[in-house]
Chains A and B, each alone.
Chain A
Amino acid sequence: MQNEYDIIVVGAGPAGTMAARFAAEMGVSVLVLEKDRDVGYPVRCGEAVSKAGIEEFIDSDPKFIASVINKFSFIAPDDTEIIIPLEEEGYVLERRIFDYELAKSASEAGAGFLTRAYVNGLLFDNGRVSGVKFEHQGEQKSLTAKIVIAADGVESRVGRWAGLKTHIDFRDMESAVQITAAGINDINNDTCYFYFGKEYAPEGYFWVFPKGNHSANIGLGVGGNIGKKKSALSFLNDFMRKKYPQASVLTTIAGGVPCTPTLNKIVAPGIMLVGDAARQVNPLSGGGIASGMIGGSIAGTVAAESIKQHKPDYILEYEKKWHDRLGKRHLIFNRIKEGIYNFSDEKFNDIAHAVSKVPVENRSIGKVFKTALFNKPSLLVDVAKVFLF
């Protein structure tokens, strides 16, 4: 290990490893510091992703694909089920293997990795971030870098130490809990299931994502306003008692999903934020694997260019590039999310009833949306609200 790197990345999730790979591919020196002992574990994720979302970065490989998804099933509060065929395939991943493969690709590009390295502070030089302090094997150490990329996930503390406001309102954090369970016999392996309504997950949704062999990721997220009165765990227990009392629970994980638009500032002198740390999750779906990889790849490329051209201020370009690629779209998704949060159970039921009149072969997410409007013109007002405000 050197004492000095061009770029130090904090966190070896999808965002951090892609930042590392894209930078290393341009020939700069990169080291990734990860506090956990293994890259990719523990898995705090429903593991659903679109095929296109990952193929921008890695070829699909059966070893990290648990199931191939081509249908969504939406279940309304009154149990009306709407099946929607997807135009584009998706996957439920084995993220433990997926994250590891991503890290391997970064390492092949020349990036170094150090696990069990807990970053607990930053170094500064004239107000500019110039490295990190970290704990490794019981010792306090430090390393200098021209640029630090903070990919430290939902916690996002590293950016705070550089003066960026990264904490989010507790109402915008989806508090999530998920089990992986076996003995889930009534699901199709090609379908992701989403439950809506007050009983399942108010201000959020409940998911059942198949993982093959009658096992599934089953979980939910609720906004902090709901969690204040009833925890995510308690919603999960109610669901399992009602739906799958016989299931055997293989693992349980907790997690937080920051469902907000991206932070206003994701760059400060010498530091860039990527992935969950920058709040780059799609605020409507809560999906952050693909968007985190996109954020990471843009940041890694911009960081390497800034170093190669000796233009430290060039890293500011990352903010604009991210905004153009996804940030703008997330602002709209966030407005839709806020609209949907306010839907009553009756409204979810009405939409489901309207859509159930459309033959399955004619359904697509876009068409379902239009049909819902056509069959229930009063919804137009809600949707207009969602889009306009």
Chain B
Amino acid sequence: MIEILPDKCDFCGCCVGICPEDAIELKEAEIKIIEQLCTNCSKCVWSCPIEVLKFNRNGAKNNLNAK
């Protein structure tokens, strides 16, 4: 699953503009991945200019098991 490194996000919206699933919620100073919509495609990770997002394989496994 996609992990957001704490306190690093600049709330710029770049990742939101490319997310094919509309799975990122961004307020003035608050960001959240909507896990039910996220397909773990990692495009947001590649587009973040300041390395805030990480793909976490273990998390993804847990997420699938949980379903």
Contact = CB atoms under 8 A, between A and B. Distances in A.
Interface in B42-64: 43, 46-51
A256 B47 contact: yes
A160 B48 CA distance: 21
Contacts of B19: 167
Interface size class of A (residues with CB under 8 A): 35 or more
A258 to B, nearest CB: 6
A232 interface: yes
A255 B18 contact: no
Name the residue in B14, B26, B27, B50 with the highest tally of chain A Cβ atoms < 10 Å from its Cβ: B14
A256 B13 contact: yes
Given A232-B49, A253-B10, A254-B49, A157 B28 contact: no
Given A35-B27, A155-B26, A227 B47 contact: yes
Given A155-B16, A255-B12, A224 B49 contact: no
Contacts of B17: 154-156, 166-168, 173, 256, 258
Interface in A249-269: 252-256, 258
B14 A154 contact: yes
Contacts of A234: 51
A224 B43 CA distance: 8
B46 A227 contact: yes
A177 B22 contact: no
A371 interface: no
B18 to A, nearest CB: 4
Interface string B1-37: 0000000001011111111101000111000000000
Contacts of A256: 12-15, 17-18, 47, 49
B37 to A, nearest CB: 11
Interface in A65-108: none
Contacts, number: 90
A182 B49 CA distance: 22
A253 B46 contact: no
Nearest to B25: A120
Interface size class of B (residues with CB under 8 A): 20 to 34
A35 B29 CA distance: 10
A325 B47 CA distance: 30
Given A154-B16, A154-B17, A169-B18, A228 B46 contact: yes
B28 A35 contact: yes
A175 B27 contact: no
A118 B31 CA distance: 13
Nearest to A118: B27
Contact of A177 (B20, B46, B50): B50
Given A170-B43, A224-B43, A116 B28 contact: yes
Contacts of B50: 177, 231-233, 254
A118 B26 CA distance: 9
Contact of B14 (A118, A169, A255): A255
A35 B15 CA distance: 18
Interface in A158-186: 160, 166-170, 173, 175-177
Given A37-B28, A167-B18, A224 B12 contact: no
7 contacts: A154-B12, A154-B14, A157-B22, A170-B43, A176-B49, A231-B50, A254-B48
Closest 10 A-B residue pairs measured CB to CB? A256-B14, A232-B49, A228-B46, A155-B13, A155-B16, A175-B49, A254-B10, A254-B12, A170-B43, A254-B49
